[in-house]
Structure 1
Amino acid sequence: MKTRFAGFQPIRPDRLIWGQEYRHDAYKAKHKLPEPTACPVCGAVYHEGRWQWAPRPAQAHEEMCPACHRIHDEFPAGFVTVGGQFFKEHREELLHLVKNEEAKAKAEHPMERIVKIEDQDDGALVTTTGIHLARGIGEALHHAYKGELEFHYNEQENLLRVVWER
């Protein structure tokens, strides 16, 4: 006997529509970019299907990379809230660690960058172009200084909120 709960129907694998995009990302290219393509803002090069740091090829097509596009639109994918009394006492040291994490991630993955660091009443808000950098910053703070660390992931919006406090 089949039972139904108010508004709930189990997902049946035989009814899944294959080939549809699982989550919508307005910053993902809707078509394959011509190779080579270079970002006129940061200089990243799209080659072999991904953005990477490489010398700009002659005759490269120009198109803004997704990270520069997010920074320009001020539309981050990651939010890291850093707060607490420890932050107030060690602000510069903690923000230095945040910037070092960005440099490490950005060297390998050009699309992982900090959008902005904003001071707040009880701490700082660091916004990032990707969820991986936000997670990395939170984990680095927790590893170095302990404290409380929380992750809140919104799958529909591909958005990560990280809260670190001590």
Structure 2
Amino acid sequence: MKLRSQSGRVRPARWSPFSEEPIHEHYRQPDKTPAASCCPVCGAVFLKGRWQWRNPPPGAKTMVCSACRRAADQVPAARIRLSGHFEAAHREEVLMLARHREAALRADHPMERIMAVESTADSTEILTTGFHLARDIGHAIHHAFQGRLTFNYGNAATELHVEWAR
């Protein structure tokens, strides 16, 4: 690739010593997906390019959705870490809010689910199958209970870490 400078002369493209490797997302929807598919685990239907909650059309193929594959492999897309004295004292309220946000988002987006909730004496970690749910839960908790909220996109294509403390 050659670029033209303002003077009109051609200069070579910048060379980088780092090779550009594509990020392989194992849980991304394959390009050659059947027109209509149904997940045998959760019952979601892939139709018109997206997963949705509905009855499967006649002749639908079976294919495990990415959320069920993530849950089976125990590979979350995002982790939400809640910590602090306030979290320990109000854990039930915070988790109830997280479950409420999951139910609201999951009604329209079947791939956004809470995989697991792991609690210790001083913190709680919520594992989700999607980025959107993790951001939504983080914002909802921050809005309801204040505190400090941070987002860390370690590898922006494959993982998100949300941390909230108060």
Task: Give 1:73's aligned residue.
Answer: 73
Q: CA deviation at 1:31?
A: 3.3
Percent of residue pairs bearing the same amino acid type: 44
Task: Give 1:41's aligned residue.
Answer: 41
Task: Give 1:9's aligned residue.
Answer: none
TM-score by length of 2: 0.83
Checking the alignment, whether the CA contact within 8 Å between 2:35 and 2:48 is kept in structure 1 is yes
Q: Secondary structure at the match of 1:92?
A: helix
- Please provide the CA RMSD for this pair: 2.1
- Tell me if 1:93 matches 2:90: no
Q: Secondary structure at the match of 2:99?
A: helix
Q: Secondary structure at the match of 2:35?
A: coil
Q: In terms of Rg, which structure is larger?
A: 2
Checking the alignment, whether the CA contact within 8 Å between 1:150 and 1:164 is kept in structure 2 is yes
Q: CA deviation at 1:154?
A: 2.0
| Distance in 2 separating the partners of 1:34 and 1:13 | 41
| Distance in 1 separating the partners of 2:41 and 2:93 | 29
TM-score by length of 1: 0.83
Identify if the C-alpha distance between structure 1 residues 56 and 13 changes in structure 2 by more than 3 Å, giving closer, same or farther.
Answer: farther
Deviations 1:127-150 (A, max 9, x none): 000111111111100000100111
Code of the aligned partner of 1:32: K
Structure 1 gap ranges (5+): 1-11
| Distance in 2 separating the partners of 1:136 and 1:104 | 10
Identify if the C-alpha distance between structure 1 residues 67 and 140 changes in structure 2 by more than 3 Å, giving closer, same or farther.
Answer: same
Q: CA deviation at 1:157?
A: 4.8
Q: CA deviation at 1:70?
A: 0.2
Code of the aligned partner of 1:163: E
Task: Give 2:153's aligned residue.
Answer: 153
Task: Give 1:108's aligned residue.
Answer: 108
| Distance in 1 separating the partners of 2:62 and 2:29 | 13
Checking the alignment, whether the CA contact within 8 Å between 1:78 and 1:131 is kept in structure 2 is yes
Q: CA deviation at 1:87?
A: 1.1
Matches of residues 1-166 of structure 1 in structure 2 within 5 Å? 23-155=23-155, 157-166=157-166
Q: CA deviation at 1:32?
A: 2.1
| Distance in 2 separating the partners of 1:54 and 1:21 | 38
| Distance in 2 separating the partners of 1:117 and 1:133 | 14
Checking the alignment, whether the CA contact within 8 Å between 1:83 and 1:122 is kept in structure 2 is yes
Structure 2 gap ranges (5+): 1-11
Deviations 1:71-124 (A, max 9, x none): 011000100001111111111111000001111111111111111001123121
Q: CA deviation at 1:36?
A: 1.2
